[in-house]
Structure 1
Amino acid sequence: MIIEWLRTDFGLSIADLEPVVGGADAAAEVWRAQADDGTGYAVKWSAGGSTAALVLSDRLGLSGVPRPLRTITGELWSDRDGRRLSVLPWVPGQNGWQRPLTNEGWQAYGALLAAVHHSSVDPGQLPVEEYDHAPFARQLADTEYRDHELLRELLRHADGLAGDLRARRPPLVPCHADPHLGNLLADGTAVSLIDWDDAVLAPRERDLMFVLGFEDFTAEQRDRFFTGYGPAAVDRPALAYYLCVRAVQDVAELASNTADILSPTGFARRALASAEACRS
C-alpha cells in the first residue's frame, strides 16, 4: 500500500520499506525506504502535527534541516486515507542519546538552532504560541497523577507565568519546539534536526529549554552549545513556563500511554495471551 502510494504520489520506485520503531508520536507511522537506485528516504504517514512543519523545513533551506520531497504535482505532502504522507531524505547518523555529542557536535547544535531562530518566515506560515497548556492539564486529569502535589504546583506556576507572557508579549522566532537530543542526528561534525511536526512561532526559550533545563548537561556542554549559538539573554519567566509545562506533558503522556498498554485490549494483554498460548 505505502509503496504504491509512493510510486503514484511521489514518483518513487521503492525496493525496500522498513518500519522505524521507538518514536513518541502515536499519531504517525514512519518507515525507512530504499529506492531502486539505493537512495534512502524517511517516509511518514501522520494524522498529527501541523502542515506548517513541512512548509517551514522546506523554506528554511538549512543544511541541517532535511527538506521534504515534493509530490509529482508539486505539493509537500499527499493526502492518503485521511492522513498526511510525506517523504524526506534519510539522514544518516545516530541521535544524541545513542551517541554523545562531541565538542564540535555541541557547537554545531547551537549554530543550527541559532540559524533556525534567526530565519524569517511569512506571517501565517506557522502557528503562533498562545501559552495554552490546558490540553496537558486535561490529559493529566485523566491519569492517576491528577492530584500529585508537585504537578499541581507546576500547573499553578504555569498559569501565572502564562498570564505574564501574554501580557508582555516577548519576541517570537521560528522554533522547532522539540529539539532534544533524540531529534538531533550527528554524523561526524555535522548535525541535523528531524521531526518538525510541532514547529511554532514562540520565544526562543521554547527550544533553549532543552539545553538549559530539560536534561542534566554539564557546564562545558552548555558552553560549547552557546559558542555555536551566540550570546543569548535568557528570558527566565519564559524558560520557567516551558519547563513547567514540559514536565506536566511528559508525565501525562507517559501515564496515558501506560494506561493504554495495560488496558483490556492493550499490548500487555495481547502479549500475555501469546505467552499463555505457548503453554497450551
Structure 2
Amino acid sequence: MEDLPEKLNQEILFQGLGDFGISTATSSYAPIGFGDYHWHITGDDGQRWFVTVSDLEHKEHCGQGAAAALRGLRRAMDTAVHLSEQDGLGFVVAPRTTADGSSLVRLDPRYALAVFPHVDGRPGEFGQKLTDQEQDQVLELLAKLHSRTPPETTPHTDLEPPGLRGVHTALTELSGTWTGGPFSEPARELLAGHEATVRRRLSEFAELAARVRGRGAPLVVTHGEPHPGNLILGGDGYLLVDWDTVGLAVPERDLSLLSGDPAALARYTELTGHTPDREALALYRLRWSLLDVAEFVEWFRGEHRRTSDTEAAWQGFADTLDHLHSDATS
C-alpha cells in the first residue's frame, strides 16, 4: 500500500518486533503491494527483515471481522511455517516465530504483525509474462506443494469469493446514491454501465462452481496467488512469498493463475499425473476477477478518502470490469 495504515502507532510496531526478539536499528516504509503494509527493518545485530502489518478489518479472505480474520491469518502463517520447517519446502518464505512459537503478533484490535526474513533475489511483478521455462519452474514448485499432506492448520477456502453477496446487493441498489466517499458515485455509475456483464458472469460462475463441486476432486494445499508478483528469483530458483491466502482447494486454484489451457500446464501433469480440469481453470480465473470486483465495491460503497491507494483501486476497478466484459465476449 502507498498510504500508511490508519491510526497505527509506530511505537506499537516496534514493541511487536520486540516479541520476535528484534531490536530495531533502522526502519523504512515499503509502499509496495496492495492490501497489507510493509516495512524494511534492520535489527541492531545487522540482520534484515521484511515486516508485514495486516488490517484485520479488511482481511475478508481470512475471516469476516477482525477476530475471525486474526484466527484465519494465524492458521495461514502457521501452515507456511509447517511447510517450510516440517516439510522442508525451501521455496516457502515463512514467517519468523516468537519465543513461544507464535507466527503472528496482534498489535492492537485492528492490526497484526508478521515478520519475514529478508530475501536476496529478483522480485517479479504482477502481470509479468513468464517464459515457458520459467512457468515450468513454477509448476515444479506447485507440484511439490500440492503433493504434501496438508498440515492441520491449513485453512479451508470458500469457493464463493468473500464479499460476493455485497456485489449482488450493490446491483440491486444502482438506482440510489452511494455516499461513502469521492469514488462512491463514480463507482455506482461504472458498475451500472457494466451491470449486464457482471450479472452474466455471476451466473456463469455459479454454473461452473456447481459442476466443479459435483466432481468431488481431491483437495490439496494451495498457495492461492502464485503469480509473478509473489515470486522472487533467488540463487537456487524461485521462492514463493505472501502465504496469507494458503488453503485447501483443488489444484486448479493455483494453476489457473499460470494458464487456462491444460496443454500449457503439461509439466505439472508430467510430475503429478493430474491433468488440469479445463472448467476448474475457467472457474478460478473468473473467481479472481469477481473477487476483485467484490473488494472494490465494498471499498467504494464504504467510507473512504481520495488517496494514492484509492486512486489505484479506482483504476483497478475499471480495468477489472473491462476484463470481465472482454473475456466474456472473446
TM-score interval, normalised by the smaller of the two chains = 0.7 to 0.9
Q: For 1:75-120, what per-residue CA distance to the aligned partner results, in whole angstroms no more than 9, with x for missing partners?
A: 1122210232111112222332287656654333121111111111
CA distance 1:53–1:134, change in 2 (3 Å): closer
> Hey, what's the Cα distance between the residues in 2 that align with 1:228 and 1:43?
37
Gap runs ≥5 in structure 1: 272-280
The answer to whether the Cα contact below 8 Å between 2:161 and 2:290 also exists between their aligned partners in 1 is no
Q: For 1:114-147, what per-residue CA distance to the aligned partner results, in whole angstroms no more than 9, with x for missing partners?
A: 1111111244x22223322362352475443255
The 3-state SS of whatever aligns with 2:28 is: strand
The answer to whether the Cα contact below 8 Å between 1:41 and 1:87 also exists between their aligned partners in 2 is yes
The answer to whether the Cα contact below 8 Å between 2:163 and 2:294 also exists between their aligned partners in 1 is no
Aligned residue among 91, 96, 111 for 1:69: 96
Is 1:6 the counterpart of 2:6? The answer is no
The answer to whether the Cα contact below 8 Å between 1:105 and 1:189 also exists between their aligned partners in 2 is no
Amino acid at match of 1:116: L
The answer to whether the Cα contact below 8 Å between 1:15 and 1:34 also exists between their aligned partners in 2 is yes
Other-structure match for 2:76: 53
Other-structure match for 1:108: 137
The answer to whether the Cα contact below 8 Å between 1:33 and 1:42 also exists between their aligned partners in 2 is yes
> Hey, what's the Cα distance between the residues in 2 that align with 1:258 and 1:93?
36
> Hey, what's the Cα distance between the residues in 2 that align with 1:35 and 1:89?
11
Other-structure match for 2:225: 178
Gap runs ≥5 in structure 2: 1-10, 63-72, 171-186, 312-330
Identity of aligned residues (%): 28
The 3-state SS of whatever aligns with 2:27 is: strand
1:16-31 residue pairs with structure 2 within 5 A? Answer: 16-25=26-35, 28-31=36-39
Is 1:119 the counterpart of 2:148? The answer is yes
Paired residues in the alignment total 258
More divergent stretch after superposition (180-189 vs 155-164)? 180-189
More divergent stretch after superposition (96-105 vs 190-199)? 96-105
> Hey, what's the Cα distance between the residues in 1 that align with 2:168 and 2:123?
29
TM-score, normalising length from structure 1? 0.79
The 3-state SS of whatever aligns with 1:6 is: helix
Aligned residue among 243, 247, 250 for 2:285: 243
Is 1:155 the counterpart of 2:209? The answer is no
1:25-44 residue pairs with structure 2 within 5 A? Answer: 25=35, 28-44=36-52
The 3-state SS of whatever aligns with 2:212 is: helix
The 3-state SS of whatever aligns with 2:258 is: helix
Amino acid at match of 1:178: E
> Hey, what's the Cα distance between the residues in 1 that align with 2:295 and 2:53?
21
Amino acid at match of 1:53: A
Amino acid at match of 1:136: L
The answer to whether the Cα contact below 8 Å between 1:161 and 1:237 also exists between their aligned partners in 2 is yes
Amino acid at match of 1:200: G
Other-structure match for 2:119: 91
- Which runs of at least 4 in structure 1 moved beyond 4 Å after TM superposition? 98-104, 222-231, 254-261
More divergent stretch after superposition (183-192 vs 251-260)? 251-260
Other-structure match for 2:306: 266
RMSD: 3.1
Aligned residue among 210, 214, 237 for 1:167: 214
Q: CA deviation at 1:22?
A: 2.7
CA distance 1:52–1:228, change in 2 (3 Å): farther
CA distance 1:192–1:153, change in 2 (3 Å): same
Q: CA deviation at 1:204?
A: 0.4
